[in-house]
């Protein structure tokens, strides 16, 4: 990969992120690579990321990667995700490993993971009133606290079931280790091409997580008679108010997010560490 224009996205809520970002910028300057820094906030301007950008370096945590991912999706720009705390499920590269990762890129020795993303739209009276893309998940739930919602789930226009629960999560393999996992969903390997449907605290115990192929189109219909306001949340960062009779349509996006892999650890090692699968001492 030839680097000419690099954009560094720094978590604006972590002082260390801006410090590391400036160190990366100085290092790139020594290699004659032009770079700029975006510091995230509630109203971040990502216009510096454009078709001329060769690489985006996300400095922070998984949340910084998610916001960066939406900014690069239409351009197909790879993301190098640098984590400043404990390793995230998405951010595999530690704050002391970014030089090695960049050197691999300069030497054309990097490996890239192509992550499935979801296109999420809301239809209201047949018209598209909302559109977003998700690297992790889309969630339809109550806008209040501890309020059950009634949702109809269809797959490829066939009714799959009527759900009374705290909400429904439609997740990518990348997002299967996030909210979906906390709600009892399965873990999918990040490079898989599949979609997970997980009900949050279902009223009926027979409701179980469902894994479908990535080419399936999932529709959530909001019937009348809800006792609470409803909210659509995308990647935990974008929200949209849902009304009765709305339809939330979720399908595979044509574009994938390109994440540069760590050479220090693989996905299995990250799962083992994050989920504490290392076990204990079983010696008698």
Catalytic residue IDs: 62
What are the φ/ψ torsions at residue 166 (nearest 5 degrees)?
Answer: -80, -10
Residue 179 structure tokens: 């909210």
- End-to-end Cα distance, the chain: 53
Which tokens in the block code for residue 51? 């078709």
What is the SS3 assignment for 180? helix
CA–CA separation, 171 and 196 (whole Å): 5
Strands (E), 166-200: 167-171, 194-200
Residues 6+ apart with CB under 8 A from 91: 58, 60, 61, 62, 64, 65, 81, 82, 83
Q: How far apart are CA 279 and CA 221, in angstroms?
A: 43
Exposed (0-12), middle (13-18) or buried (19+): which is 22, by Cβ within 10 Å?
middle
The H or E element that residue 24 is part of is helix 15-30
Cα(68)–Cα(57) distance, integer angstroms: 9
């Amino acid at each position: 990969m030839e680097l000419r224009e690099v954009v560094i996205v720094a978590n604006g809520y972590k002082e260390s992120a801006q410090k590391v970002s400036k160190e990366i910028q100085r290092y790139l300057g020594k290699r004659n690579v032009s770079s700029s820094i975006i510091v995230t906030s509630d109203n971040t301007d990502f216009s510096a990321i454009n078709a001329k950008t060769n690489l985006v370096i996300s400095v922070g945590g998984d949340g910084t990667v998610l916001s960066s991912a939406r900014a690069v999706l239409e351009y197909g720009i790879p993301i190098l995700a640098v984590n400043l705390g404990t390793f995230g499920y998405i951010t595999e590269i530690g704050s002391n490993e970014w030089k090695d990762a960049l050197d691999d890129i300069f030497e054309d020795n990097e490996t890239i993971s192509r992550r499935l993303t979801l296109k999420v739209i809301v239809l209201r009276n047949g018209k598209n009133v909302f559109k977003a893309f998700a690297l992790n998940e889309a969630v339809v739930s109550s806008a209040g606290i501890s309020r059950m919602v009634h949702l109809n789930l269809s797959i490829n226009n066939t009714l799959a079931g009527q759900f009374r629960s705290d909400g429904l999560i439609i997740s990518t393999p990348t997002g299967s280790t996030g909210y979906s996992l906390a709600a009892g969903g399965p873990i999918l390997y990040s490079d898989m091409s599949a979609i997970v449907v997980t009900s949050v605290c279902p009223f009926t115990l027979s409701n179980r997580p469902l894994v479908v192929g990535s080419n399936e189109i999932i529709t959530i219909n909001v019937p009348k008679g809800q006792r609470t306001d409803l909210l659509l949340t995308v990647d935990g960062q974008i929200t949209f108010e849902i009304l009765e009779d709305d339809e939330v349509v979720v399908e595979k996006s044509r574009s994938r997010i390109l994440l540069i892999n760590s050479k220090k650890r693989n996905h299995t090692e990250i799962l083992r560490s994050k989920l504490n699968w290392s076990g204990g001492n079983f010696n008698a």
